[in-house]
Amino acid sequence: MARPTKDRIIEKLPEIKFFKPAGVPGHQLEIVEMTMEEVEALRLKDVKGLTQAEAAELMNVSRPTFQRVLTSARKKAAEALTCGKAIKFAGGDYRLVRPGHCPECGKKMRRGRTHQHGKNMSKEKCPECDEDQEA
């Protein structure tokens, strides 16, 4: 039995969730579905220009997992572009977390101390975790 997939951290959902070739009616098109974590991987690596290690940390996954997600996203995008298919963004195993917020509890983090939820999180600490540690 496979281990359950943990949620990947997504900072931003795309505003537009469907693309299709111009001049072709939608009912005639095959659709390639891309998960939200695949879209986020493309955004972090190819749009923002982060390294795989940086992007993997932001998404709260290992670097090899990030590579698999990115490779899958690029393959789907290439298939849609070269074969005239539509692209639909939907589904996936993700959790939306705004930048500067704790990926575990969702509260606003502040600078100063190491975060308690496993990783360093850029030396930020959320108020809830700070209270837990002080108690």
One-letter amino acid identity for 24?
V
Q: Which of 64-73, 78-87, 105-114 has the lowest mean pLDDT?
A: 105-114
**Higher-pLDDT residue of 115, 98:** 98
Alpha-carbon span 129 to 100, nearest angstrom = 14
Number of helices (H) and strands (E) in the chain: give both, helices first.
4, 7
Q: Parallel, antiparallel, or unpaired for β 110-111 and 86-89?
A: unpaired
Q: What mean pLDDT comes out for the span 68-85?
A: 97
Q: What average pLDDT score do residues 12-24 get?
A: 91
Q: Indicate whether 69 pLDDT > 50.
A: yes
Per-residue model confidence (pLDDT) at position 126? 62
Distances in Å between the Cα of 19 and the Cα atoms of 33, 35, 70, 84 are: 11, 14, 19, 11
**Per-residue model confidence (pLDDT) at position 120:** 45
